[in-house]
Structure formats: C-alpha cells, structure tokens
Amino acid sequence: MKYSSEINKRKTFAIIAHPDAGKTTLTEKFLLFGGAIQTAGAVKSNKIKKHTTSDFMEIERQRGISVATSVMTFEYRDVLVNLLDTPGHKDFAEDTYRTLTAVDSVVLVIDCVKGVEEQTEKLMEVCRMRDTPVIIFVNKMDRDGKNPFDLLDELEEKLNIKVRPLSWPINGGTDFKGVYNLYNKSFVSFLPNKKATDDDIVPLADLSSSYVDEHFSAKDAAQLRNDVELIEGVYDPFDNKPYLEGKQAPVFFGSAVNNFGVKDLLDTFVEIAPVPRDREASTRPIAVGEDKFSGFIFKIHANLDPRHRDRIAFLRVCSGRFERNKFYHHVRLDKDVRFSNPYTFLAREKNVVDDAYPGDVVGLFDTGNFKIGDTLTEGESFYFTGIPSFSPELFKELVNKDPMKTKQLEKGIRQLTDEGVAQLFTQHGGNRKIIGCVGDLQFEVIQYRLLQEYGAACQFNTLPFYKACWITGNKQKIEEFTRFKQANIVEDKDGHLVYLAQSEWYLNTERTNNPEIEFHFTSEIH
C-alpha cells in the first residue's frame, strides 16, 4: 500500500452522548492530553442553553469557531487522532447521524446517575447500522449513581451490544475510591480535582495482594475481589475482533470533570480503535489503500454572516491522497473541480493543507456545488453508500408569504436542505413543499435564515404526519398505491417516492394491505 504508514497512524472518531452526560468536558480533557489546547475551559460547549432561535444564531455567529471545532486533530502517542464534533442539541440530531458516517469508531459517554437516555439509544442505533466500534465511558462516578452491574445490564439491554468492563469502580459518589483497571491490572486512586498522573497508578496483577487489604476497608476489599471474580466469570474476555465488528463494547468508569479515568480511556482508545478501513460504494468496495483518491461530503457549514456568504463542505478522505490544486471528479455533477485553499484543523486552527490521507477531514470552500453525500474521485463514477437520510419527526408545509420572492425562496430552501439543515419533500406531481425536521428549533432556524440570507418570508403550517417511509417494490403496485394515497405521497430531494404516515396505525394498515410494497425508515435502501 502506497500510503500505509499515513493510514495506519490515523484514528478518526466522535464522542457521542445524551446532552449533559459530559461530552464537552471529556473532549476538553482529550485535547489537553493531546496538547491541542493548553488550558481548561478552551473548548466551548456547543450546547444551546435556551430554546430560542436568537440563542442559536448568536452561538452560530460566534463560531466561525464552530468550523474550527467541527474537527479537532491532535497527536497522542504517535497516533494522529481526528475527533469529529457533533451538535449538542437534540434538534440537530441528524447532523450527528451524518457525522457518524464519517468516523471509524465512537466513544459513548453515559451519565452513571441517569443511565442510558433516549438520545443515547438513537445514536447507538445509527452506530449499529454500520457496525461502528464503540467504547463506553461511564461518567460522573463522583456522584451517587446506579449500581455498576445494573448499568452494564442496562447498556446491554437498551443498546443491544455485549459489554465488557475494562475498568471497575470501587464505590461511587462521595465514597468513590478509584478504579481497578482490568486490562492492565492496576489500581488508580481517585483524588477529586487533581490530575491523575502516572504516580497514582499502582500495578496490582494479583488482587489477593496485601496492598488491597492495607489500602481499603475490609468491606471494600471484599467487594472488589467479588466483583472482579464475577466480571471474569460472567463477561467474555475483551477481544479485538468483536470490538472491531461492533459487537462488543469495552466499558470504562471515571469522572471527566475530575480528569479521572480519562487517560486510561485515551490510552486504550489509541491502542485498540480502528484505523481507516475499506468502504462500501455503489459499484464496488473501495479499499482504503488504493492509490487513487476518493472521499465524500458529510457536512456542510454555512457562514451565517450575510456579508460572507461562503460555505465550508467537510470532506472525509476514504482512499488515496487528496492534494491541493488538483482536479477531482464531482460524480453527481459530472464535472471536475479543484480546491486552492483546502483546510485542516490542527490544534483548533484552520490551516491550509497541501495533502490529506484516509481518515482525514478537509474543509472545502463551496459556493453551492455540494450536497451532503456527494462523492469526489479521480475520475471513476461511484458514490459511497451508508450515508442515509433518516425519517424526520416533524412535518410542516412551507408557505410563501411574499409572491414576489418565489425564486429566492426556492433557491434558499434548496440550498439549506442541501446543507442538511432539514429535509425537503415535494408533493408527487405537484409543487407543494413539505419540510421535515427532527426538532422545532430547526424550523425557526430555516425561517430566520430564509429571511436573512435570501430575503424570502415564509411561514410553516403543521402537518399531521409522524413518519416518512421510503417505498420500494413492485412497480405496478407502487403506481396504484401512489394514485390511491395521493395526499400522502411526496418525493425526496433525489426524486425517490416517500409515503408520509399519519400514525403508526396507518402505517401498519398500509403495510398489511400492501404486502408487495416495502416501507423503509431511511433513504438508504438495501
């Protein structure tokens, strides 16, 4: 492989969590270890505290930074780590889902008090679709949380994955003593607000050692010995293979805010997490080691400042070497494009790069040529698969309030939906536009941006749909179905037929009545 040394030193991942579980805090600790930032507090939470558009806009405006924090690259123990940021607000969950298509593994943060929360389950479903390897970090052990064995059961049950603790807590909350690392057989004692240094680590290959009796109460010592015996008996040993296949998730316990257990996690991450791998594409699998460059766009970030209407498209390199100023083939538009100022994001600063390798993310200036999912190659025509749209949860009809501005509205809504802000559905055989989103805040953002950036005033009328289902199957049956169900049939941005169901009951009824038609909750249809 021509670029094997570059490929094998890269690990590209995302931290995912239900809001408030500790993603921002953990990100910051990772960056401190990686030397990418020098002081705590340097990573701004991208969380939207109040549920208002102005709050969102304010945050967006402040962050040109959000472009800089979209990808954070740092080196740790000779590994080049690309950490892809995901939005903190659940209304923008789809952005997170798409980012997950661009990573090779994830670290999932769980709050030990709250356990597996709703958003965690959804994020994990997306990981499961692509068998993404997962490492779990149970955070906030300095708080009185759930029993760790109960937590492990909950993780297995709700996330549909086998778990394997690699560290184990001795108590929790105010009585939290530290963790025993089952992977490299050592004990790390917990000191609040103190950076855990190597000195705090005591090798403890044998738990019958007198150290345990000398340093813990009889109760804690017995508990630790029993727990570890139980773990070794009940859980399969950690194995790289099922981890890399996304079937077994190693679990760590710690406290991000106290920087406790974070180093263990990061050390294990750089050791076991996968380097960039081969990817499925429409015509053939694309080997990561191929000489020729290929990559796809997974995120588009618009600059909301009306004076600088540029956009940055984020390209994930999948094979070969990406080079500045070289012409590449934009498969969907069937035209050649080149980039004179591609960016990388080393140490939170945007830098122009000359080349990039598989696993890297490059920011490309875009004047409206890109849509999410677009593929760039050295000439071959294929597109990467596994970048689906998911059914939105809220549907509203877009109503033009100013007939003089129809063109601007059309253009605006197309560009915003290309960016992935929302999904646009058009009435089958008509021109009615229906916008699908995950959360209400997205509608407010669209309304605001259409007015600010395109001068187009619109309003939204709520529609009584609950799910969008992409439909496939027997051609004649589909034709009949679309005729009968005209009011519920729309087309997505690529012209695929979509059935909008009013409720689960309606959907089930249609499924029963139309056995030759398949209903899918994602646009990616296998």
Residues in the site for ligand GDP, rule: CB under 6 A? 17, 19-25, 45, 47, 88, 139-140, 142-143, 255-258
**Minimum distance, C-beta of residue 46 to ligand GDP, in the bound complex (Å):** 8
**Minimum distance, C-beta of residue 428 to ligand GDP, in the bound complex (Å):** 40
Q: Output 192 or 515, the one with its CB closest to ligand GDP.
A: 192
Q: Output 17 or 315, the one with its CB closest to ligand GDP.
A: 17
User: Beta strands of 112-245 (E only): which ranges?
Assistant: 134-139, 162-165, 167-170, 178-181, 186-189, 201-203
Q: Output 63 or 485, the one with its CB closest to ligand GDP.
A: 63
**Minimum distance, C-beta of residue 136 to ligand GDP, in the bound complex (Å):** 14
Q: Output 255 or 488, the one with its CB closest to ligand GDP.
A: 255
Secondary structure, 3-state, 247-286: CEEEEEECECCCCECHHHHHHHHHHHCCCCCCECECCCCE
500-524 in b/e burial notation, b at 16+ Cβ within 10 A? bbeeeebbeebeeebeebebbebbe
**Minimum distance, C-beta of residue 155 to ligand GDP, in the bound complex (Å):** 17
Q: Output 114 or 414, the one with its CB closest to ligand GDP.
A: 114
Residue 306 tokens, joined: 């009306």
Under 8 Å CB-to-CB from 328, ≥6 apart: which residues? 293, 322, 336, 337, 338, 376, 377, 378
**Minimum distance, C-beta of residue 510 to ligand GDP, in the bound complex (Å):** 39
Please state the residue numbers annotated as binding site for GTP.
Answer: 85-89, 139-142
Under 8 Å CB-to-CB from 275, ≥6 apart: which residues? 7, 8, 9, 10, 11, 104, 359
Q: Output 48 or 387, the one with its CB closest to ligand GDP.
A: 48
**Phi, psi (degrees; rounded to nearest 5) at 498:** -135, 135
**Minimum distance, C-beta of residue 273 to ligand GDP, in the bound complex (Å):** 20
Please state the residue numbers annotated as binding site.
Answer: 85-89, 139-142
Identify which of 355, 381, 383 has the alpha carbon closest to the alpha carbon of residue 371. Answer: 383
Q: Are 300 and 314 in contact (CB under 8 A)?
A: yes
Query: Which position has the token pair 């903190």?
Result: 88
